[in-house]
């Protein structure tokens, strides 16, 4: 079972409640703070599996559904559209992931939606609900989800290795802003 790392971070016991009323004790098999994703395992029968969709093929304006348990209201679904893709440089407080490439959506993702599914109208997982940016800590128009293409790689690595395998290039990439042009004496093209 996939969820947000911040949902299970620092807990001694994990309990999973399914929409059919069954409850299971769960074990964390892998956590990744850098993407804020985690995989937990339960032992059960007749479990449903969601198909991964192609988050790269998502288009701005496409309808999506956010599934979760906001404010302890179980099995809640909200709808909205993809407002933007590739959102970076966002700050979510203590749970801000290092690697950011968020799907921005108008579907309400409130406290308790973290780790829930963002699905397309085919019912495919195209993202994992991550956070909102709000001065009131409640829904004010934009929410963010981790794209399925990132989620799928993280899940495979957590299941196989217990951690995410990453290549490191040894460089830092940044935008070339006016102050950097002046500081480094760069020519503008």
> Which residue is catalytic, options 4, 36, 106, 157?
36
Which of 4, 55, 106, 114 is flagged as catalytic?
114
Catalytic residue among 4, 6, 106, 157: 6
Active-site annotation holds for 179 = no
Neighbour-count burial of 95, counting CB atoms closer than 10 A to its CB (0-12 exposed, 13-18 middle, 19+ buried): middle
Verify whether residue 25 is a known catalytic residue. Answer: no
Is position 6 annotated as part of the catalytic site? yes
Helix-then-strand count for the chain, H and E? 3, 10
Question: How many other β-carbons are positioned within 10 Å of the β-carbon of residue 64?
Answer: 24
Instruction: Output phi, psi for 13, to 5 deg.
Output: -140, 135
Active site members: 6, 36, 114
């Amino acid at each position: 079972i996939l969820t947000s790392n911040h949902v299970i971070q620092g807990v001694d016991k994990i309990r999973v409640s399914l929409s059919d009323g069954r409850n299971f004790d769960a074990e964390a098999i892998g956590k990744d703070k850098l993407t804020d994703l985690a995989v937990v395992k339960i032992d059960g029968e007749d479990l449903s599996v969601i198909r991964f969709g192609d988050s790269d093929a998502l288009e701005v304006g496409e309808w999506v559904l956010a599934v979760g348990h906001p404010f302890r209201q179980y099995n809640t679904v909200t709808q909205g559209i993809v407002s933007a893709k590739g959102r970076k440089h966002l700050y979510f407080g203590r749970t801000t992931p290092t690697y950011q490439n968020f799907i921005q959506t108008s579907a309400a993702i409130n406290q308790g939606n973290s780790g829930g599914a963002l699905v397309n109208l085919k019912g495919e997982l195209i993202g994992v609900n991550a956070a909102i940016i709000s001065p009131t800590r409640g829904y004010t128009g934009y929410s963010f989800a981790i794209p399925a293409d990132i989620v799928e790689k993280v899940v495979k690595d957590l299941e196989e290795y217990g951690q995410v395998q990453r290549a490191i290039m040894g460089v830092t990439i940044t935008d070339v802003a006016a102050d950097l042009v002046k500081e480094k004496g760069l020519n503008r093209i």
